[in-house]
């Protein structure tokens, strides 16, 4: 079996898309999802450390799943708070956005139903659909006409699954158009706000809350390991939805709960962001600056394409795994942490640099990024 594993790894190496773990120290951060800089915030760290652990028995671990030993007053208080932030009847905490999406999408649709998911959805949304007993069908990315064609042919209860902000193209879903179609065809909507949480909306409540359309969604997933700078996730929706997930969502039922430190971290992160909501506008100014500079200095070269994005995720498409790795290496040698996204993570021919912008990126750092990129294209 080890020989078979080695052969598969060699195949991937020969195609130029072998993944390897690496540690890059002392580079300027253009790769992390820490959009608002909360992960590195000393003020937030001190706030998290100030919580009172004196009455907490299990200080280091939760000791079990929520349905056994892992539940606590702290858990339930945070879920009530999150439901208020996200304007929902109820919320349910999960260890990650991946497990939250798996639980939600795999458990609700049944045999004979249809799940329609955007083709650029994160793999956890797709896997949730595949794990369900429903028919799962992708529609072309942000293509309303293709979605309607597939809604016309869908059977049973129909679920449309989207992200608010897409992690590889950095673009937003045409949410209003999708809501209109879902109402026309009586379909249920599910949205993953992984890259919208914290960055958009009052108190970091995400894009659909900012738009005031949150009640049009059956379920909404919010993650805390990106814009919020900590860890964990939650599903928001009706009380019935949350009770259903407690009973049928396997990633919830069979997973050891988050430790109390994570609960306090999530609680503190939302309090901190509420007091420092100006970080959202600071991030927007960095995005505008980068886009203007890129437009001024980078011309079309050998298939380079930069899809428009007004979010923190800025893709620069340069086809070819070898080529994109070489450019990434040059950027890293220049002190800039920009990683390549290779196929098969993205479709062959759409390999890219995925530039992430943050509140902690100075204008000088952004200028250095664009200047260095121009030299090595």
Residues taking part in catalysis: 33, 122, 163, 167, 192, 195, 226
Question: What order of strands is seen across the sheet that includes strand 352-356?
Answer: 313-317, 352-356, 340-341
Continuous segment of H or E residues that includes residue 224: none
Cβ burial, residue 174 (10 Å; 0-12/13-18/19+): middle
CA dihedral 171, 176, 179, 184 (to 10 degrees): -130
DSSP 321: H
Closest CA to 193 of 179, 176, 173, 177: 173
Going along the chain, which residue ranges are E strands? 28-29, 90-94, 114-118, 135-139, 158-163, 188-192, 219-223, 233-237, 313-317, 336-337, 340-341, 352-356
Q: How far apart, in Å, are the Cα atoms of 114 and each of 53, 179, 187?
A: 47, 17, 10
Cβ atoms of 323 and 316 within 8 Å: the answer is: no
DSSP-derived secondary structure for 90-139: EEEEES-HHHHHHHHHHHSS-TT-EEEEETT--HHHHHHHHHSSSEEEEE
Q: How far apart, in Å, are the Cα atoms of 195 and each of 99, 170, 191, 313?
A: 16, 9, 11, 9
Residue 365 CA to residue 29 CA, distance in Å, equals 9
Residue 110 CA to residue 136 CA, distance in Å, equals 11
């Amino acid at each position: 079996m080890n020989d078979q594993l080695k052969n598969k790894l060699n195949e991937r190496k020969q195609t130029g898309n072998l993944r390897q773990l690496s540690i890059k120290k002392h580079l300027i951060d253009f790769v992390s999802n820490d959009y608002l800089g909360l992960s590195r915030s000393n003020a937030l760290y001190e706030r998290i450390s100030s919580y009172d652990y004196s009455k907490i028995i299990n200080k280091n671990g939760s000791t079990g799943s929520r349905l056994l030993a892992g539940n606590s007053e702290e858990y339930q208080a945070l879920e009530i708070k999150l439901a208020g932030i996200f304007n929902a009847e109820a919320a349910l905490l999960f260890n990650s956005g991946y497990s939250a999406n798996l639980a939600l999408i795999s458990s609700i649709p049944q045999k004979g139903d249809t799940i329609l998911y955007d083709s650029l959805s994160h793999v956890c949304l797709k896997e949730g659909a595949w794990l369900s007993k429903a028919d799962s069908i992708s529609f072309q990315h942000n293509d309303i006409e293709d979605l309607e064609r597939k809604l016309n042919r869908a059977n049973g209860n129909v679920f449309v699954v989207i992200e608010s902000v897409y992690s590889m193209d950095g673009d937003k879903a045409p949410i209003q158009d999708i809501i209109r179609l879902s109402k026309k065809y009586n379909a249920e909507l599910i949205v993953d706000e992984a890259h919208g949480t914290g960055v958009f909306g009052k108190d970091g409540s995400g894009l659909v809350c900012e738009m005031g359309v949150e009640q049009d969604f059956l379920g909404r997933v919010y993650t805390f390991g990106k814009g919020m700078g900590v860890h964990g996730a939650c599903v928001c929706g009706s009380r019935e939805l949350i009770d259903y997930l407690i009973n049928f969502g396997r990633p919830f039922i069979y997973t050891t709960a988050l430790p109390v430190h994570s609960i306090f971290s999530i609680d503190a992160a939302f309090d901190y962001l509420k007091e420092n909501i100006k970080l959202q506008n600071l991030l927007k100014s960095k995005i505008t600056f980068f886009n203007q500079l890129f437009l001024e200095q980078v011309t079309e070269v050998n298939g380079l394409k930069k899809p428009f994005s007004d979010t923190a995720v800025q893709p620069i498409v340069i086809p070819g795994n070898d080529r994109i790795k070489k450019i990434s290496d040059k950027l890293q040698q220049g002190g800039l942490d920009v990683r390549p996204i290779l196929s098969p993570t993205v479709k062959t021919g759409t390999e890219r640099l995925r530039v992430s912008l943050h509140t902690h990126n100075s204008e000088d750092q952004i200028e250095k990024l664009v200047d260095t990129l121009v030299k090595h294209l």
